[in-house]
Each structure stands twice: as C-alpha cells, then as structure tokens.
Amino acid sequence: MNYSNMTATEFVTALRGIPIEADLLKAKGVSDAYIEDLKKGFNVLPKMDVSSFSTNPVLELVERYDCSMLSIGMIEFNTAIEETEDYFIFGRFEVDELAVYRLSEEIVMLELGSENVICCCACNGSSFLDAISIAAVFFQKSGLDDKIYYDEQLNIQMAEECGDAAGGEKYADFYRMMFGV
C-alpha cells in the first residue's frame, strides 16, 4: 500500500471526514456529552493569529491547530510544543510523552519526565500522521461494532498497517501496543 506524505492540513481534513455515527453510539449506551466531545475532537479548528515556523507536519499541527479535544486511542496532543535540548514534545501516549527527535525528525515515545526512549513511533511526522489517521478510522469503526473490536486478527492486521505507514517494522511495536495486540 502506498502512503502519502501527509501534511497537518491533510490530517485535519481526514479527521473531519471520519463519520461520527451518533445514533449507533447512543444505541451502545454512549452519552450525549461523550459524542459531542468526539465530534469536537475530530473537528480540529485552526488557532487564531498563529503562524507556524515548523516544516514538520506534527509540530505544525500542534502550532497551527487546536488539538486539545483530539484523542486517537491513547494519543493526545499538547496545546503547545515543549522543547528540550534533543526533543520537541508534542503530545502524550497514556502518561508518556510523544516527541520529535531534533536530529532525525523521528517520532519517539519518551518516559515521562526523562529523555529515555521507550519506543520509536514513526520515521517522521508525516508518516506518524498517516499511521494515526488510519488508526482513527479503525477505532471509530471498532467502537460501533463489537465484531471488529474483538477481532484479534483484524486488530493485528491494522497495527501492522499502521506500522507500515509509520515507516516499517521498527515502528510496529508502538502500534501493537496502541491496538493491544
């Protein structure tokens, strides 16, 4: 499968295109408040009067768009980029930090409060956005259909597809963890 060099704007457009099927979610017992939060999260809006200086799509996403309501699996985005000597920290995976390594632009997960790399997530920001956009579509579908949610082989397949989009086998463990397989 060919993957694009996804930009921040293309990622935002892709998220807005993911259908939120409120009636099906309500039938599964999901609250109206949660459904509204989900809709708001996928309807990422531009920040006012912000110019982005980053050429990295993930950093541009956080700089130019309000991602405060966006959650994809266990991935959440910061409201601003935090900088260290070696990393640009842009989000969280559970309690750990997601960051761009300055030297290579590789996306990594860092142990909270340190610069210890737990795992590598993508070869670059564009590949990371490709991979998590695939995950977002799948998670939305699996949230509506128990057969999809509990299909271990399908979840393994989706984790592998996300790993491929992220840059290959080096990154697959992150997506296996994300999909719980």
Distance in angstroms (rounded) separating the CA atoms of residues 173 and 161: 12
What are the C-alpha distances in Å from 22 to residues 33, 69, 73, 136, 165?
Answer: 11, 17, 18, 16, 29
Mean local confidence (pLDDT), 131-158: 95
* pLDDT given for residue 5 in this prediction: 85
* pLDDT range class, residue 3, cuts 50, 70, 90: low
**Which of 14-28, 46-60, 112-126, 164-178 is predicted least confidently?**
46-60
* pLDDT given for residue 11 in this prediction: 96
DSSP state of 84: -
Distance in angstroms (rounded) separating the CA atoms of residues 126 and 123: 8
* pLDDT range class, residue 130, cuts 50, 70, 90: very high
Residue 82 in contact with residue 92, Cβ under 8 Å?
no
Element (H, E) at 98: strand 96-101
* pLDDT range class, residue 4, cuts 50, 70, 90: low
Distance in angstroms (rounded) separating the CA atoms of residues 11 and 29: 29
pLDDT surpasses 70 at 2: no
- pTM for the model: 0.93
| pLDDT tens string 77-92 | 999 999 999 999 999 9
pLDDT surpasses 80 at 55: yes
158 closest CA partner among 94, 72, 87: 72
